[in-house]
């Protein structure tokens, strides 16, 4: 642990004002979506961020990536402070940090062909163009399990799992160091989920990627993560090695969360119901 | 156990621009009072269309519905619209995934539950209906029901809305409850409470329940019997124990194997089913799962019937040509 973490977040806060309009907008309260969060992500590891709806996990991602301006706190990427950087100053850094979304369909422009969608980051950042760009896009499509013949198709022609592969190819295009995956498999069918989880695994090994994997499903988070941070009410209530957090949770909320996850084993499920009792 | 609801050879097809889409292809099952039958499958498996058809919700000029669904003496598939209107709610009620879309946002929760009662029971006064709504909300675990009955849907949290929808579904004391992914949109801590509520209703009122879900964890926690559906057909049927501890169909193996389980050590790599479900407009000949099945052989080009293939388990049915030896040998544990 001597090396500098790839990402170091310290005391990050994001409050949203609650306004009431009389004659002027008056701030009457604040929603503390992210309320003083600190964590580190080391190169090559996966940090799982787990929490229920309203826990602030998505806002945290957006605040770290400067997609929304943090109220206060520090975000260091490779040692450099990025909190409060302007859009122009962030632009070169966007190559290093990418995001994968829950609903790949909502994040793909329906009127663009797959080749354009995947190639767009390369074009915007001026990395490649013309036949070189097309070549790189074909290679990316191949890498995520799609084929070159998909190049000229539109998003609606693909299944949910394939669309998530497209989203992953686009996120990979600029060879980022850090990828934030926000509920990347929760909208997918069970039989497709494992495929995408394994694909993310393979890509991490191949490209030395670092992931922040955000999800409400602690089972999936435990499978992919080296360390897990549990979020509740805008705060990280527990953090530790994935197996330790799941097997010996220390925080009361983590315990509640784990106890609520259904066990896909009828005997064990019944045994737990009898020992824990209702509630 | 005699069946309360008996579905036989249900087939539902829709005429589309691309041809006839056979969403459900020969589904049969019996449901007894107090029983929870889980129908498990992915999108396009036909699990929701099966449920909606039983309630008469898929009737349309381009739908082709065959088979029967008997609730006592009434065949719900053949019943006229008036009979269906009284049956829905009164005898068979449904709970959906998203409670927000099931309530009208501009009316108070209590008024909507009251309306559901008065639409079926003309002799119930407004005041009585309101009192009944308070009782119902209280019975599904909404605290301070006497005050909350006057809330609007948006003032409820997701879990409370789902409880309120269950309360509305129970308003007329139906015999059968159909719950279509009732907890999928909820947080796990809330899900656990809703599942517990459903289980309690089964036990205390003898409510027969069809639980439609993609989540095998939810199934293990609540169901008595399980139908596994794939591409419009049942590929395996059995008791909860049979499906989890002696699964016979490779698709069931795949579903069970690809779960990320907190109760086991995590595997290096998650076992996965390759490929994707087929298009219902372009099904492969024979077994629909064949293109994704790593155990497929020549005979799979012919559609296996849904049969009991185990000598000692007459109620455990599957659609797979593999012989028992091969299954026991090659099935992942």
pTM: 0.91
| Count of residues making up chain B | 333
Is B47 found in the same domain as B168? no
Neighbours of B307 (CB within 10 A): 11
B141–chain A Cβ distance below 8 A for any pair: no
pLDDT digits (tens, 9 = 90+) for B177-191: 999 998 887 888 888
Contacts of residue B235, defined as CB under 8 A and 6 or more positions apart, other chains included, come to B228, B229, B249, B251, B252, B289, B306, B318, B319, B320
For chain B, what is the mean pLDDT?
92
Do B189 and B149 belong together in one domain? no
Report chain A residues whose CB lies below 8 A from the CB of B244. 264-266
Q: Where are the domains of chain A?
A: 97-175
* A181 — pLDDT class (breaks 50, 70, 90): very high
Please judge whether B261 and A263 are an interchain contact, meaning their C-beta atoms are less than 8 angstroms apart.
yes
Same structural domain, B168 and B200: no
Q: Does one domain contain both B190 and B281?
A: yes
Flag whether pLDDT at A173 surpasses 90.
yes
d(CA B203, CA B193): 15
Question: Do residues B54 and B191 share a domain?
Answer: yes
pLDDT in tens, A135-152: 999 999 999 999 888 999
Query: Which one of A266, A273, A274, A275 makes the best mutation probe of the B interface by having the most chain B beta carbons within 10 Å?
Result: A266
CA–CA distance, A192 with A170 (Å, rounded to integer): 19
Q: Which candidate, A182, A172, A169, A183, places its Cα nearest to that of A67?
A: A182
Range of the domain at B166: 101-172
By the CB < 8 Å criterion, does B311 face chain A? no
Cα(B84)–Cα(B58) distance, integer angstroms: 12
Q: Tell me if B266 and A243 make a contact (CB, 8 A cut-off).
A: yes
- Give B193-239 pLDDT, tens digit per residue: 888 888 888 888 899 999 999 999 999 999 999 999 999 999 999 99
Are residues B108 and B148 both part of a single domain?
yes
**Nearest residue, CB atoms, B258 vs list A190, A217, A260:** A190
Shortest CA gap A4–chain B (Å): 28
Q: What is the pLDDT of residue A276?
A: 60
Phi and psi, residue A223, nearest 5°: -65, -40
Chosen domain end from B146, B172, B198? B172
Same domain, B265 and B326: yes
pLDDT at B184: 84
For residue A25 the two structure tokens come to 């907008």
Check B266 against A197: CB less than 8 A apart. Answer: no
- Examine residue B195 and state whether it is found in any structural domain, yes or no: yes
Choose the final residue of a domain: B131, B154, B172: B172
Q: Provide the pairing of β-strand B176-180 with B92-95.
A: parallel
A232: left (phi over 0), alpha (psi -120 to 50) or beta: beta
Share of chain A above pLDDT 90, in %: 73
CB contact (8 A) between residue A257 and residue B258: no
Give the pLDDT band (50/70/90) at residue A278: very low
Q: Is residue B157 very low, low, confident or very high in pLDDT (cuts 50, 70, 90)? A: confident
CB A227 within 8 A of CB A242: yes
pLDDT in tens, B61-109: 999 999 999 998 899 999 999 999 999 989 999 998 876 778 899 999 9
Two tokens, residue B64: 């082709």
Mean pLDDT of the B138-161 span: 90
Tokens at residue A215, please?
A: 């999800």
**What is the maximum span of chain B, computed from C-alpha positions, in angstroms?**
68
Cα maximum dimension of chain A: 65
Q: Examine the pLDDT at B27 and tell me if it is beyond 90.
A: yes
Residue B119 in any domain: the answer is yes
Final residue before a domain boundary, out of B172, B196, B227 = B172
Tokens of A84: 């409060």
CATH number for B22? 3.40.50.300
Per-residue confidence band for A279, with pLDDT thresholds at 50, 70 and 90: very low
CB B20 within 8 A of CB B13: yes
Q: Is B98 exposed, middle or buried (0-12, 13-18, 19+ CB in 10 A)?
A: middle
Same domain? For B124 and B13 the reply is no
pLDDT per position as a tens digit, A220-268 = 999 999 999 999 999 999 999 999 999 999 999 999 999 999 999 999 9
d(CA A117, CA A123): 10
CB-based contact B272 A223, cutoff 8 Å: no
pLDDT tops 60 at residue A277:
no
Compare all CA atoms of chain B with the CA of A54 and give the residue at the minimum distance. Answer: B187
Q: Identify which of A123, A132, A194, A125 has the alpha carbon closest to the alpha carbon of residue A164.
A: A194
**Residues 6+ positions from A265 with CB-CB distance below 8 Å:** B220, B244, B261, B263
Question: Do B163 and B223 share a domain, yes or no?
Answer: no
Count of domains forming chain B: 2
Average predicted confidence (pLDDT) for chain A: 91
| Angle separating helix axes A160-172 and A114-124, nearest 10 degrees | 20
Site of tokens 């279509």? B180
pLDDT of residue A2: 53
Tell me what percent of the residues of chain B surpass a pLDDT of 90.
73
Dig out the tokens for A49 from the structure: 């961020």
B213 close contact with A: CB closer than 8 A:
no
Pair B224, B123 in one domain = no
Check if the beta carbon of residue B7 is closer than 8 Å to that of residue B178.
no
Does B60 lie in the same domain as B194?
yes
The structure tokens listed for B139 are 């019975």
pLDDT of B151 strictly over 80: yes
Reported as a single tens digit per residue, the pLDDT across A16-38 is 988 777 677 777 788 889 999 99
Tell if the CB–CB gap between A198 and B191 is shorter than 8 Å: no
Report if residue B96 sits inside a domain: no
Measured in whole angstroms, the distance separating CA A147 from the mean position of its chain's CA atoms is 25
Same-domain check for residues B143 and B276? no
Which residues in chain A are closer than 8 Å to B260, comparing Cβ atoms?
197, 217, 219-220, 222-223
């Amino acid at each position: 642990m001597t090396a500098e973490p790839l990402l170091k977040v310290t005391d990050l806060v994001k409050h949203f004002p609650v306004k009431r309009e009389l004659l002027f907008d008056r701030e009457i309260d604040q929603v503390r979506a992210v309320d003083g969060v600190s964590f580190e992500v080391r190169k090559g590891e996966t940090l799982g961020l787990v929490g229920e709806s309203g826990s602030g996990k998505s806002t945290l991602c957006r605040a770290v990536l400067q997609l929304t301006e943090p109220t206060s706190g520090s975000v260091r990427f490779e040692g450099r402070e990025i909190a409060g950087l302007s859009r122009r100053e962030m632009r070169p850094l966007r190559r290093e940090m990418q995001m994968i979304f829950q609903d790949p369909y909502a994040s793909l422009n329906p009127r663009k062909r797959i080749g354009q969608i995947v190639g767009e980051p390369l074009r915007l950042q001026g990395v490649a163009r013309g036949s070189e760009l097309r070549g790189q896009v074909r290679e990316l499509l191949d890498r995520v399990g799609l084929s070159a013949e998909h190049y000229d198709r539109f998003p609606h022609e693909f299944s949910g799992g394939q669309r998530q592969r497209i989203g992953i190819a686009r996120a990979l295009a600029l060879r980022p160091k850090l990828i934030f995956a926000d509920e990347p498999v929760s909208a997918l069918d069970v039989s497709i989920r494992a495929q995408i989880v394994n694909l993310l695994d393979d890509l991490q090994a191949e490209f030395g990627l670092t992931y922040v994997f955000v999800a409400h499903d602690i089972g999936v988070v435990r499978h992919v993560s080296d360390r897990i941070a549990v979020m509740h009410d805008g705060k990280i209530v527990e953090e530790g090695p994935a197996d330790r957090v799941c097997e010996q949770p220390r925080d009361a909320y983590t315990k509640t969360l784990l106890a609520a996850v259904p066990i896909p084993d009828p005997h064990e499920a019944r045994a737990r119901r009898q020992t824990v009792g209702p509630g | 156990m005699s069946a309360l609801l008996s579905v036989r050879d249900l087939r539902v097809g829709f005429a589309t621009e691309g041809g006839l889409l056979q969403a459900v292809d020969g589904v049969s099952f019996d449901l007894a009072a107090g029983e929870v039958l889980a129908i498990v499958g992915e999108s396009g498996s036909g699990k929701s269309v099966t449920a909606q058809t039983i309630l008469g919700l898929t009737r349309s000029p381009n739908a082709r519905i065959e088979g029967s669904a008997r609730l006592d003496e009434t065949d719900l598939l053949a019943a006229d619209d008036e009979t269906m209107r009284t049956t829905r709610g009164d005898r068979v009620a449904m709970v959906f995934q998203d409670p927000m879309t099931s309530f009208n946002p501009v009316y108070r929760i209590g008024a909507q539950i009251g309306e559901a009662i008065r639409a079926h029971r003309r002799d119930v006064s407004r005041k009585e209906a309101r009192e009944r709504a308070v009782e119902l909300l209280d019975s599904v675990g909404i605290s301070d029901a006497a005050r909350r009955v006057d809330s609007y849907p948006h003032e409820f949290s997701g879990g409370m809305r789902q409880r309120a929808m269950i309360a509305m579904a129970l308003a007329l004391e139906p015999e059968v409850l159909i719950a279509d992914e009732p907890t999928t949109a909820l947080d796990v801590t809330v899900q656990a409470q809703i599942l517990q509520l459903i289980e309690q209703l089964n036990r205390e009122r003898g409510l027969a329940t069809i639980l439609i879900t993609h989540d095998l964890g939810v199934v293990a926690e609540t169901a008595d019997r399980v139908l596994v559906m794939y591409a419009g057909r049942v590929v395996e049927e059995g008791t909860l124990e049979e499906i989890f501890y002696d699964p016979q169909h490779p698709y069931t193996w795949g579903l069970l194997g690809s779960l990320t389980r907190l109760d086991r050590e995590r595997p290096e790599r998650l076992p996965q089913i390759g490929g994707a479900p087929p298009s219902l407009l372009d099904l492969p000949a024979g077994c629909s799962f064949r293109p994704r099945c790593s155990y497929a052989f020549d005979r799979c080009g012919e559609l296996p019937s849904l049969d009991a293939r185990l000598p000692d388990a007459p109620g455990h049915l599957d659609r797979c040509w593999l012989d028992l030896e091969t299954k026991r040998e090659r099935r992942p544990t």
